Structure 1
């Protein structure tokens, strides 16, 4: 028979396992139940896709599946990434979570089920790891531990950032890293700390950066708490620095190539000037401690998400009055808490936590470490033997009353809150205050009451907060994705060459990632700055983190190898005017292309003018400098440099409108650059412009950044003009083609008091001249014999020694070229693409891609791993 001591050990182990299981299952089941209630796929017609999760991340998840299962060559480089781009930066920011392997089980439109699983599992893991931390480092257990773990897993930050699914890895890894630091400071054992911090650096460097800053603060607290003498302190400091550096070196195989990627993208937007000022009135943060203090408007520009529940918040306040804890530790914790609070409202500190860049949406992304810190303080204090003094109770009561009164009296300033939420928050605060100040805490009902109150409040917060958010329906995502996939598959089955595909409809800018083709759009935080600059030059929409090839012309379609186009059909009958493929552009010049296929929803066109991925061109392209802000002239200069013919610089001709009529707008003698003023602000105002093409050439309109749908409605020939909304530079809009003798009417209806017709011009393309130029460039193609996402090999014949191999492969130092087996230099053309100088005659040319600094990173990581392993082995052998 087992001894009594062994039975107690087994019972204790079972209790711990049950507690940890509860810490995982409670947030897991709560969020699963809520999502089922909201009918999220696979349990209904909705999905978890919303905002960036639906517009960006889901496309990267589809790419991950395709890269791992079908196209490993695209792991390092993908032509679905805008016009083409490196992928390690994308992997390290979005895709390296170990849980993402679950997505391999979810093909096609069922990818939303994978997102569902990822989300609830990450909530559960956050509860599990925080529960593990409390079990190892505090006197918490049972229902109270599960309650605090759930408060952490479902804190306001995790609920508000549920859609930023790649950030949620930080929530479950932070407690493990913190426990590693605890072991390092208390026992000197370093492996736990190094392993988990390294994993965090690999999984998401961005969140890891914030955790590293927090670890410095945590180290300071541990060092003060454990202080015995200065020698011991400096020894701990050195050990903390060395082990932290070791984690960085172990993760170098990801961090170094990622650093290179960032140097081409996000790092170029770093803020270098700032002011020491409050970003808002600091007491406004108090409102975020109430349940349901979140809505859509808080995403782009709100205060930090700080909700942790009344029990944890009160516990963190009582920590500073807990005489069981050393005074120096409480003072240090107070200083750290003040620093964290200031970081949430002081501009330079906010910038510090975000690596020198103001977040575009989702402000105060580091607030999860603030919530972690407060709940950690609470967990140390809210033990069964805690008895707060009357002064502590009075101060806590005063803070609750003052905070509630401030929010209630200024409720109009907090549009995400209603009075019933404030009253509910006060109700739970009173319950929490009564519960935490009870003199007797050993009765079995106490931890149960703690659990019921705590779980009810955090559940209500999740329910209220997420009810303010709308989601993409499963049908909207699935139907669109399935149709686009069918269109892509048909083209790729017939044509296995190298080409890009354009389209006149859009669900997301990452559609090419979603369905696996070389496209022209992307939305990514690691988009190289050169790409949006180029798009702005050619007249297509761009932003700091996105490009969308919705405004291609015959010229750019040809030069960018846009060989196929998909155009949505408008349904007839009862569904007239609708399509499950939402239009994103007006493309009249498709009349120049050949229809090669169609189904119920779309027509496929082949562009006979599309140039190959590489061809022989004049060396003038190597020295072409952009000296114009006019996209029509830019395109002409680009093509002329390739052909070497000055006459090709005059592809486009500005045309006058035949007639212009004004309604409730003062007469204007010149349209381009005119400011249209509404005469009577209460009456509609519009301008109607007409022109009748005298040839079958393509006609384009240019719209400056002010000529957009926010300021006016555009109607072309009786139909609202389809156009992607967001653009900051002049765009080119296809207005007419093969329309000789047919009157074209454009009506502009003002939405505001005035409209500046910035860069508003009508252009006619000399189609014959364009065709001659394309024919010339097509005579000397790069005949590819082998190709993949990161490798091209083929032959090309040049007629003269002053020609280059011009490609539409975006330039990068990662691309390496050989000509006839010899390594040669690559050149950047139009600030965007890759070219190689060629000798006269036939040459065999290869282009291959390898991520910059990846080899160096692998070497550093390997040497560090060998060093740490060897050191650990020698140490254990010496003591063995």
Structure 2
């Protein structure tokens, strides 16, 4: 019996590892329970991008792995359609994401909370494992430092960027691999953990790779013996790093191709050698609670690690137990990292040549790791600093605190009580760091209490400044949209897209599994927002929002069904779980095919199939007009081959214009409205009465937006997605013959430029004739999936093409009647194939570009690595 007890007894190291995992895990779980995050209450962990973007990708991940593996490489939920390798590589390849498979529907938020707290716990675990492996740190001191690492300011501020948190889990393991590579010559740990990081998140891996170069320089100096040995170490480091990349080339090469179509096109080509902010401003971030919502879009680097770790790092540089050359090299690395938080070229280097859109200084987890690592070298039980060392550290800390206190009013994220509380922790930490009886049991206990209390308080203060989406807001909306999608897909199994007049996020299509037109993704090809801007829908560098479709674009983009939020009456008047994002009067041309309490479902009789026989004029169309109505007309005319279709839209005059507290204008389009009195409301009311039942549209330039004015149409707020940078089209009237339409624009500021503000009438009869012509010869699909289309199409002439609304990519491969043929790009966006007169059997298949080369390189690298390990294992004497 005693032997069995000993067998199951934990060793001191195992207790340390367990404590390092459980401490941050429990702290964050208790906090989330306190905030009533699902499954603990009515709130959720969803906020900012986690609630607007990542949660939709997680829903897609579940659907792809459990129900639709064909969408792993390509998905038509990705905007109008797009490759998915880049999305997987950036957002979805954390192994912990597999836990989400157990959380269907509305419980997905509970799964997100679980993997979040697990990542905090695992970060503490891996850092403690590193300490146990290569330092004398043990027990509560190791747990304290590991908790400071797991709950660093970067990890708290970026808790919502859940896919980045894997970096702090894997960094200690990769660093250990580097140590082994440098000291013992063993490649295995490095060749395991660095490739895993490259797979899990290439973006964070890039930053870690830059840090590995800095760490190598420090280690090369610290372990220097001979120049020959340094050359061997350098070759070993370079070879192992290149081999790590080669091992995962099957992922990295297709991802690189994806980046060349998206993020790489936004890379800064020039920079200035200047400070982005006052360098010493970053010192304020060492104080607890120095974070709020305003810090997300811009602000100093989040480098909070607690007073103990900061003092420990400072003592490293005056610790005579450590070789001077090592301290000097560490100082160079530290200065480089410090300058990276304020000097523009270095900031751009860490972010691969691009200024971050929100979440600045994303590499600051590297700084936190480095400082805590230095502290771990110093804060050992045999550390007894002399008076000179103590004096030097006290002077540095005092100067830093003095600077922060002198500029406290300029730090809106740092309050006076937080500053003085931070000073108190500095005093406690200084006493503990210089405590003469470190081998007494009270020392590690006090270190643990003070250290863990401070990082816990920081997490509490930081996250209390952030608001979250309620569980009902997410769950009710998602459940209703899923019902609408399910009813549609059960009754129609053909391939089509769905539009809607409401949204929770631009990733709703990913969330509920339909082919849409909107998306928010860092992997979005640049051509997609360019196209959306051309047709009059909102766009940005990383998003598109198909909220402003017309009868023309709905038809050409195969928007076969539409969902519209209902105007409720009675007790539910003025309420809706479906937030309106657009005004779509032209739904009057579509047929209602179903409805429930919250929404109606429409079918578009003019929707074209995913492909159809069209004029080859589309291959030579160079549509450069900035007018979205003319762009759409030119696009349709090129498909029909009828030049008269270029005159689809005509500009109309308003019947009456009334000004209130605004100077009179004789011309509305391009007018600069100015308030007469800035203290009074200013508005303009425009009236028109349609003479027929045609569709009427308004165009609005980027200045005519909800930030500058409010818009009401016939007394009701004109719903519109607020962010757009190009001229958009707004559906104003349809089937409203003889009805007075009154649009009121109320200025929010002293002036408003009515940029590209024009009323247009669509020639509905000509539009219907053009669409009917294209509907005569559809691509009749016998099989379809996200990456495979197979069917027949009839061409009545030799100069016709199969025009599709599939976004162009070299990954799409076509065969016509069994022979491989070239694909063509139309309007710099879509895919077309030339046809011969008669019936053509056309097949389109998608395969990620560069994947074959990546598989070859990865395969050869795996053979090399495993062959080398096998050879070494078998050449050893038995």
In structure 1, what is the Cα distance between the partners aligned to 2:591 and 2:397? Answer: 71
Following superposition, the deviation at residue 879 of structure 1 comes to 2.0
The equivalent position to 2:292 in structure 1, one of 292, 295, 300, is: 295
Matched, 1:763 2:733: no
Q: Which whole-Å deviations, capped at 9, do the CAs of 1:157-185 have from their partners, x for residues lacking one? A: 00000000000000000000000111111
Matched, 1:384 2:381: yes
In structure 2, what is the Cα distance between the partners aligned to 1:616 and 1:789? Answer: 21
In structure 1, what is the Cα distance between the partners aligned to 2:103 and 2:180? Answer: 39
In structure 2, what is the Cα distance between the partners aligned to 1:379 and 1:180? Answer: 18
2:595 maps to which residue? 598
Unaligned runs of 5+ in 1: none
Unaligned runs of 5+ in 2: none
1:694 maps to which residue? 691
- Partner SS state of residue 488, structure 1: helix
In structure 1, what is the Cα distance between the partners aligned to 2:684 and 2:504? Answer: 31
The equivalent position to 1:506 in structure 2, one of 499, 503, 508, is: 503
Q: Which whole-Å deviations, capped at 9, do the CAs of 1:763-791 have from their partners, x for residues lacking one? A: 00000100000100000011000111100
In structure 1, what is the Cα distance between the partners aligned to 2:78 and 2:377? Answer: 48
How high is the TM-score relative to the length of structure 2?
0.99
Instruction: Map 1:373-772 to 2 at 5 A.
Output: 373-772=370-769
1:872 maps to which residue? 869
1:21 maps to which residue? 18
Instruction: Map 1:308-387 to 2 at 5 A.
Output: 308-387=305-384
Matched, 1:44 2:41: yes
Q: Which whole-Å deviations, capped at 9, do the CAs of 1:661-715 have from their partners, x for residues lacking one? A: 1111111111000100111111111111000000000000000000001111111
1:239 maps to which residue? 236
- Partner SS state of residue 589, structure 1: helix
2:78 maps to which residue? 81
Following superposition, the deviation at residue 373 of structure 1 comes to 0.2
The equivalent position to 2:174 in structure 1, one of 172, 177, 193, is: 177
- Partner SS state of residue 762, structure 1: strand
2:148 maps to which residue? 151
Instruction: Map 1:110-189 to 2 at 5 A.
Output: 110-189=107-186
- Partner SS state of residue 672, structure 1: coil
In structure 2, what is the Cα distance between the partners aligned to 1:798 and 1:254? Answer: 40
- Partner SS state of residue 602, structure 2: strand
RMSD of Structure 2 on Structure 1 (CA): 1.3
Matched, 1:107 2:107: no
Following superposition, the deviation at residue 397 of structure 1 comes to 1.6
1:827 maps to which residue? 824
Following superposition, the deviation at residue 9 of structure 1 comes to 12
- Partner SS state of residue 276, structure 2: coil
- Partner SS state of residue 472, structure 1: coil
Following superposition, the deviation at residue 400 of structure 1 comes to 2.3
The equivalent position to 2:778 in structure 1, one of 754, 776, 781, is: 781
Following superposition, the deviation at residue 399 of structure 1 comes to 2.2
Q: Which runs of 4+ in 1 moved over 4 A?
A: 6-11
Following superposition, the deviation at residue 448 of structure 1 comes to 0.4
In structure 2, what is the Cα distance between the partners aligned to 1:136 and 1:404? Answer: 35
Following superposition, the deviation at residue 379 of structure 1 comes to 0.2
Q: Which whole-Å deviations, capped at 9, do the CAs of 1:604-638 have from their partners, x for residues lacking one? A: 00000000000000000000001310000000000
In structure 1, what is the Cα distance between the partners aligned to 2:867 and 2:33? Answer: 51
In structure 1, what is the Cα distance between the partners aligned to 2:599 and 2:220? Answer: 66
Following superposition, the deviation at residue 285 of structure 1 comes to 0.4
2:256 maps to which residue? 259
Q: Which whole-Å deviations, capped at 9, do the CAs of 1:92-151 have from their partners, x for residues lacking one? A: 000000110000000011100110001000000000000000001111000000000000
In structure 2, what is the Cα distance between the partners aligned to 1:690 and 1:747? Answer: 9
Following superposition, the deviation at residue 582 of structure 1 comes to 0.2
In structure 1, what is the Cα distance between the partners aligned to 2:643 and 2:240? Answer: 63
- Partner SS state of residue 686, structure 2: strand
Following superposition, the deviation at residue 401 of structure 1 comes to 2.1
- C-alpha change, 1:7 and 1:37, in structure 2 (3 Å) is closer
In structure 2, what is the Cα distance between the partners aligned to 1:646 and 1:874? Answer: 72
1:31 maps to which residue? 28
In structure 2, what is the Cα distance between the partners aligned to 1:854 and 1:108? Answer: 33
In structure 1, what is the Cα distance between the partners aligned to 2:201 and 2:505? Answer: 24
In structure 2, what is the Cα distance between the partners aligned to 1:450 and 1:635? Answer: 68
Following superposition, the deviation at residue 876 of structure 1 comes to 2.3
Following superposition, the deviation at residue 645 of structure 1 comes to 0.4
- C-alpha change, 1:595 and 1:431, in structure 2 (3 Å) is same
In structure 2, what is the Cα distance between the partners aligned to 1:872 and 1:444? Answer: 45
How high is the TM-score relative to the length of structure 1?
0.99
- Partner SS state of residue 876, structure 1: helix
Q: Which whole-Å deviations, capped at 9, do the CAs of 1:70-97 have from their partners, x for residues lacking one? A: 0010000000000000000000000000
| Mean CA deviation greater in 398-407 or 723-732 | 398-407
Matched, 1:856 2:819: no
The equivalent position to 2:190 in structure 1, one of 189, 193, 206, is: 193
- Partner SS state of residue 807, structure 1: strand
In structure 2, what is the Cα distance between the partners aligned to 1:762 and 1:508? Answer: 29
In structure 2, what is the Cα distance between the partners aligned to 1:40 and 1:661? Answer: 51
Q: Which whole-Å deviations, capped at 9, do the CAs of 1:486-512 have from their partners, x for residues lacking one? A: 000000000010000000001000000
Count of paired positions: 877
In structure 2, what is the Cα distance between the partners aligned to 1:197 and 1:237? Answer: 17
- Partner SS state of residue 228, structure 1: coil
The equivalent position to 1:227 in structure 2, one of 219, 224, 229, is: 224
In structure 1, what is the Cα distance between the partners aligned to 2:352 and 2:388? Answer: 41
Following superposition, the deviation at residue 2 of structure 1 comes to 11
Following superposition, the deviation at residue 8 of structure 1 comes to 11
2:790 maps to which residue? 793
Following superposition, the deviation at residue 405 of structure 1 comes to 2.0
In structure 2, what is the Cα distance between the partners aligned to 1:226 and 1:675? Answer: 69
In structure 2, what is the Cα distance between the partners aligned to 1:339 and 1:561? Answer: 53
Q: Which whole-Å deviations, capped at 9, do the CAs of 1:246-302 have from their partners, x for residues lacking one? A: 100001011000000000000000001100000011010010000011000000011
In structure 2, what is the Cα distance between the partners aligned to 1:754 and 1:255? Answer: 50
